[in-house]
A and B are shown apart, each in its own frame.
Chain A
Amino acid sequence: MFRNPVLFTVELGAAVMLGVCLAILAGDRSQGSLGYNFVIFLWLLLTLLFANFAEALAEARGKAQAASLRKTREETPAKRLLEDGSVQPCSSNDLRQNDRFLCEAGDLIPADGEIVEGIATIDESAITGESAPVIREAGGDKSSVTGGTKVLSDRIVVRMTTQPGESFLDKMIALVEGASRQKTPNEIALNILLAGFTLVFLIVCITLPSFSRYAGAEITIAALISLFVCLIPTTIGGLLSAIGIAGMDRALRANVIAKSGKAVETAGDLDTLLLDKTGTITIGNRKATRFYPAQHIPEPDFIAVAALSSLADDTPEGKSIIELALKHTTPGREGVPVRVPLPRQAPAELPFPFSEGLRKQPGLHFIPFTAETRSSGLDLPGGSNIRKGAYDTLKAAAEHAGHTVPAEISAATSAIAANGGTPLVVALNKHILGVIELQDIIKPGIRERFERLRKMGVKTVMVTGDNPLTAQYIAQKAGVDDYIAEAKPEDKLEYIRREQEQGKLVAMMGDGTNDAPALAQADVGVAMNSGTAAAKEAGNMVDLDNDPTKLIEVVEIGKQLLMTRGTLTTFSIANDVAKYFAIVPALFSASIPALDALNVMRLDNPESAILSAVIFNALLIPLLIPLALRGVTYRPIGASALLRRNLLVYGLGGMLAPFAGIKIIDLLVSMLV
């Protein structure tokens, strides 16, 4: 009863009506016909049934999901690693926290854990629904694996991080099933409002028999209870818990597991979003976009040298240089050695970069990138060397060797940096030949998404390790409101604290262990499922898709949840206007005929008027279940415009709709009876 005061009073009403029906059977003649009273009783029962149906329907969706999850959690064979290094086959149920177990290609991972050894591709589709396999490896931020997922290749040793029965999957199942669902603060406040309304109408109805007694108009119990049930907000009362469950469910459909309903609600209130640049705002890593050769170097030659410099560079940047070079290499040059003119020196002869087997050619010596040299490259059999790296480093080397650095090179470098790009200088035998421009590729459509967030009143902050100049450029181009450049994990925490001090609600997404403090500090911390156990523990949501743009969806889901509650409350209360005008004249028009003037709907007779109102009231619940489950669509048009819109649709609509609805039902009822 305390869970839902509105429905509790309807239950009481139905019980009283049952009593009235029994009294009529026993011979009471003061309450009208048995048929009429019984029909009212039936419709009250239906009202309750519809309300319960709404909740059951919402829960059923969660249960189906839980069942499929549970399948993956069932007992699986495991291979425990003993101290001496031998493998002991056992059941997943026998594993304990900190046990180490072995997983090989084709094995189901028996429990949540952290990879301590090896690298593997893993199929996480059982949890995420995403069929593309993911790579997990020991060390770093992609070391955690989830029980129930499948190893596709390679071999890993995993340390179990949770107690049996407390795994991520177990928690997920509990959440999805609603076992751990608690009322959120906002739900509690709304319940108080609804209980208050119920009490107001209780007072209205309880005092009415006394008034009507004075007026000489005896009111039947059926009429009184009908008036009461119609006035109290049964629509929202019946749909309230369904709305809450559906909200969590919508999050789940977006592959976000909210650890509590409160987290989803809070998401609707967010003021600030902290987003990592890489993967969220830009696509993966930087890409080479343009070559700037020095004046005396023909472009094809420079491109060839640039390609050679990246032959052994397996970083995404290096690969992108090769890609771009391939695109720019004119046909017909294949296999022809490259002759690069050098000032005051014979032209250097270099192999064609894309010839077969070049990488394995003897005498070719690759120099990997190190933090000290800040460059990488290769030494060629002929004694030439090619280096690719930061402008400062290669400029110093060139000047040290007595070569001048062409003016257009330094101009190009600063121009690239100012445009948010990263310049990579290429040198041959310490002569600087040109610059490669690396650019961040901003995700298509991201600007519009940020615009949408801005209209919702949410500020976006880009977090990046880039220098402030580059960061500013990308921030501007992507349309974020602020950025943190050269960000260290503690900078995020600091930023979140500062925002929170101003009373703002902050959300962030993270995956690494060093993100955990910031995730815990944020009001909404979304951990990526691929992230470390610490990160997942610290956040209050887990994103199964590891998609950083998910935060934006989460905000909309939160807003939708609150809006659905608000609009249905408004609708429910606005309905009362018409219901008053249906029932009040019906109560009194027999004894005070003048009051028939209030019967603006011209309803057929008092009994059909009351019955129509009750039927309309009951039918509204199933009619609105789809809306409750789907949620009211959020439109980022500004709060005032949104309020105006919702007031017109659900307020004015809620005031007018029952006039039509009750009239139609009355026509049907009077035709049937």
Chain B
Amino acid sequence: MQTELYTILFFFMLTVALAYPFGRYIARVYAGERSWLDPVFDPLERFFYRLSGVDAKREMRWQEHMKVMLTINAVWFLWAMFVLTNQGWLPWNPDGNPSMTPGLAFHTAISFVVNCNLQHYSGEAGATYFSQIFALMFLQFVSAGTGMAAGAVVFNAMRQRTTLQLGNFYAYFVKSCTRILLPLSFLAAIVLAAEGVPMNLGGGKDQAPGPEGDTVEVSRGPVAGFVAIKQAGTNGGGYYGANSTHPLENPTILTNMLENFLILIIPMAFVFALGFYLKKKRLAFMIFGVMSAGFLLLLAPALIAEMRGNPHLGQMGISQAAGNMEGKELRLGAGLSALWSISTTATSNGSVNAMHDSFMPLGGAMQLLDMMINSLFGGVGVGFLNFYIFIILATFIGGLMVGRTPELLGKKVEAREMKIAMLVALLHPFLILVGTALAAWMAASGAPVAATWLNNPGAHGFSEMLYEFTSASANNGSGFEGLADNNPFWNISTGLALILSRFLPIVGPVAIAGLLAAKQTVPGSAGTLRSDSATFGALVFCIILIIAALAFLPALALGPIAEHFSF
């Protein structure tokens, strides 16, 4: 028990310690400084830019950035559709898996394009080596790169000068992929492969001794490479259906810690990168402080609840010394599962190493809250964008409180920016609450389609529905499970939530940052509200608490909170 806690503490500190220099590296990449990878990638990039006729040096306005972003995302979606619906006859299909049906392919393609990775298929039987690499893994890189590039545009816009020119989207995007995601994933994949995660293209299934003395067939493939970017790009969609609970996707404690590290490293480093990029380290520390405080405040109850175990099972005479082990992997344990579950929901990663449905109600509540806030580190690039909206709101209220027209880093925040910020802030509760209300209404009215949805009645069943919409709206992709979600209602409704909650929260902050960048810079004075102070951090934290967290209190009260108090 003690060892587990010390491990978690040490793990968190080590991740922060490594995120700091990595953040400096990311800032240098976006600032266009030379890196040691340039000799490898520069000629390649030049070749492809020339081939596609893209001028990666041309400065773009925020509107152009978003146009490029949406266009290339649309192209990737079509490409993924093509591969998934034709994977049956395409090469590298040693297991002979069939092509996806258009409906499933549509859902899968959308889900991977938006960096969510909600999966209604099992990788072992539903995808081929080719589609795993060229459709899914490809999208895991580029969707992560999209979020990071959008983040870089906002970085650029936050520099204190008056401009419409905010860098080049292609350059930010390609650099995100080749200079940040690729080297990190490459190193991680080597370690994973060394620990026993498969990495093969030929050969097909392997045989392994089964639990009852028989032999079982085990799917293999380019797993190590896939898992690395799945974790590092806050994608979360597993190579195998069972995600990181699968012994070949996450075989040892070391791979577990490495994969958990990969979940957090870029979202954390991105915050430090902002500090290095703007040369405003205190601002980065403020943001990091607020995010860490929120993260740890959610982690603590989850850890306590899981490690204390299930009192009802305890009363039945089953030892709970190892904590609540229902739905957990024996080789990982309750504490590390709680840590992973909070990491994966905080960052919109969505990979799992345990069954979230089987967590104690309090643990489930923390996972839900994590995704409802969706900006405690958050997804790569986009987590910062979500947080940026809260900074805008805090700037407005805080600015008024010190008797000045609100300004963020010398730019006045006015009606137009507030309109966009409120719209983005509204979207999340809207999608989650309205979606869940629709589902709850159908379940409560005994609609025939809803009859088979829920595995559990009552509050837990409610949590399952709430979790599904929250996961989709947070672009998280993890499932509470226990919900029969592979049917038209859930596919369509969560699909809509996926698209809306991916692109609006990217376009909104970029638009605000672009509008602010075009304004004249107001020089700071003693009367200017500093956005890098601890007090401002406290204000941001309170605003997140009241807008993002409390709006969900009635819903949480009927789900995990009711369950917790009835337990």
- Cα A650 to Cα B551 with chains together (Å): 21
A63 at the interface (CB under 8 A from B): no
User: Which parts of A27-64 form the interface with B (CB within 8 Å)?
Assistant: none
- Inter-subunit contact A214/B462 (CB<8 Å): yes
Contact A634:B535 (CB < 8 A) given known A213-B440, A639-B527: no
- Inter-subunit contact B562/A215 (CB<8 Å): yes
- Cα A196 to Cα B333 with chains together (Å): 43
- Inter-subunit contact A563/B403 (CB<8 Å): yes
Which residues on the B side are within 8 Å of A266 (C-beta)? 405
For the complex formed, measure the closest distance between the CB of A14 and the CB atoms of chain B, giving whole angstroms: 22
- Inter-subunit contact A211/B400 (CB<8 Å): no
User: Which parts of A614-659 form the interface with B (CB within 8 Å)?
Assistant: 634, 636, 638-640, 642-644, 646-647, 650-651
- Inter-subunit contact B535/A268 (CB<8 Å): no
B430 at the interface (CB under 8 A from A): yes
Q: Residues of B within 8 Å of A, CB-based: how many?
A: 66
Contact A592:B526 (CB < 8 A) given known A192-B418, A214-B440, A569-B397: no
0/1 interface trace, chain A 249-287, chain B, CB 8 Å (1 if under): 000000000000000011011010000000000000000
- Inter-subunit contact B536/A566 (CB<8 Å): no
Secondary structure class of chain A's binding surface, majority of residues? helix
B321 at the interface (CB under 8 A from A): no
- Inter-subunit contact A204/B554 (CB<8 Å): yes
B555 at the interface (CB under 8 A from A): yes
B358 at the interface (CB under 8 A from A): no
Task: With CB as the reference atom, state the residue of chain A lying closest to B405.
Answer: A269
0/1 interface trace, chain A 553-588, chain B, CB 8 Å (1 if under): 000001111110111011001101100100011011
B438 at the interface (CB under 8 A from A): yes
0/1 interface trace, chain B 425-468, chain A, CB 8 Å (1 if under): 11001100110111011011100000000000011001000000
- Inter-subunit contact A186/B405 (CB<8 Å): yes
- Inter-subunit contact A210/B440 (CB<8 Å): yes
Question: How many residue pairs, one in A and one in B, have C-beta atoms under 8 Å apart?
Answer: 218
Task: With CB as the reference atom, state the residue of chain A lying closest to B466.
Answer: A211
- Cα A505 to Cα B422 with chains together (Å): 28
Which residues on the A side are within 8 Å of B525 (C-beta)? 271, 457-459
Which residues on the B side are within 8 Å of A196 (C-beta)? 418, 422-423, 425-426
A193 at the interface (CB under 8 A from B): yes
User: Which of B26-34, B303-311, B409-417 forms part of the interface with chain A?
Assistant: B409-417
- Cα A189 to Cα B441 with chains together (Å): 36
- Inter-subunit contact A563/B400 (CB<8 Å): yes
Contact A647:B405 (CB < 8 A) given known A203-B434, A214-B443: no
B550 at the interface (CB under 8 A from A): yes
B533 at the interface (CB under 8 A from A): yes
- Cα A646 to Cα B398 with chains together (Å): 9
- Inter-subunit contact B550/A565 (CB<8 Å): no
- Inter-subunit contact B520/A640 (CB<8 Å): no
Name A566's contact: one of B397, B524, B547, B554 (CB within 8 Å).
B397
- Inter-subunit contact A454/B526 (CB<8 Å): yes
Which residues on the B side are within 8 Å of A190 (C-beta)? 396, 400
Task: With CB as the reference atom, state the residue of chain A lying closest to B425.
Answer: A196
- Inter-subunit contact B566/A642 (CB<8 Å): no
Name B436's contact: one of A211, A562, A570 (CB within 8 Å).
A211
- Inter-subunit contact B526/A455 (CB<8 Å): yes
Name B401's contact: one of A189, A200, A217, A646 (CB within 8 Å).
A646
- Cα A651 to Cα B543 with chains together (Å): 10
- Inter-subunit contact B528/A639 (CB<8 Å): yes
- Inter-subunit contact B538/A504 (CB<8 Å): no
Name A563's contact: one of B402, B445, B546 (CB within 8 Å).
B402
- Inter-subunit contact A643/B557 (CB<8 Å): no
Name A193's contact: one of B396, B557, B561 (CB within 8 Å).
B396
- Inter-subunit contact B433/A204 (CB<8 Å): yes
- Inter-subunit contact A592/B566 (CB<8 Å): yes
- Inter-subunit contact A269/B523 (CB<8 Å): no
User: Which parts of B496-530 form the interface with A (CB within 8 Å)?
Assistant: 520-530
- Inter-subunit contact B542/A562 (CB<8 Å): no
User: Which parts of A441-488 form the interface with B (CB within 8 Å)?
Assistant: 454-459
Contact A200:B415 (CB < 8 A) given known A210-B441, A562-B400: no
- Cα A207 to Cα B499 with chains together (Å): 22
- Cα A531 to Cα B516 with chains together (Å): 39
- Cα A595 to Cα B419 with chains together (Å): 36
- Inter-subunit contact A584/B554 (CB<8 Å): yes
A411 at the interface (CB under 8 A from B): no
B558 at the interface (CB under 8 A from A): yes
Name B554's contact: one of A188, A208, A561, A638 (CB within 8 Å).
A208
Which residues on the A side are within 8 Å of B438 (C-beta)? 210
Which residues on the B side are within 8 Å of A402 (C-beta)? none
For the complex formed, measure the closest distance between the CB of A641 and the CB atoms of chain B, giving whole angstroms: 8
A195 at the interface (CB under 8 A from B): yes
- Inter-subunit contact A647/B433 (CB<8 Å): no
Which residues on the B side are within 8 Å of A502 (C-beta)? 523
- Cα A639 to Cα B529 with chains together (Å): 5
For the complex formed, measure the closest distance between the CB of B14 and the CB atoms of chain A, giving whole angstroms: 32
Which residues on the A side are within 8 Å of B558 (C-beta)? 211-212, 214-215, 217, 588, 592
B381 at the interface (CB under 8 A from A): no
- Inter-subunit contact A595/B403 (CB<8 Å): no
0/1 interface trace, chain A 540-564, chain B, CB 8 Å (1 if under): 0000000000000000001111110
- Inter-subunit contact B526/A584 (CB<8 Å): no
- Cα A355 to Cα B207 with chains together (Å): 130
For the complex formed, measure the closest distance between the CB of A571 and the CB atoms of chain B, giving whole angstroms: 10
A26 at the interface (CB under 8 A from B): no
- Cα A189 to Cα B528 with chains together (Å): 19
Some 11 contacts from A to B, beta carbons below 8 A apart, are A186-B414, A192-B419, A203-B434, A206-B437, A212-B558, A213-B444, A214-B441, A502-B523, A559-B403, A643-B401, A647-B539
Closest 9 pairs (CB-CB, A-B): A566-B400, A457-B527, A457-B525, A196-B422, A559-B403, A207-B437, A566-B401, A594-B565, A210-B437
16 more contacts with CB within 8 A, not counting A207-B555, A212-B558, A562-B399, are A189-B396, A190-B396, A192-B415, A193-B422, A207-B434, A207-B436, A213-B444, A269-B404, A457-B528, A561-B403, A570-B401, A584-B554, A594-B566, A595-B557, A638-B527, A643-B535
Binding site for B on A (CB under 8 A): 185-186, 188-190, 192-193, 195-197, 199-201, 203-204, 206-208, 210-215, 217, 265-266, 268-269, 271, 454-459, 502-505, 558-563, 565-567, 569-570, 573-574, 576-577, 580, 584-585, 587-588, 592, 594-595, 597-598, 634, 636, 638-640, 642-644, 646-647, 650-651
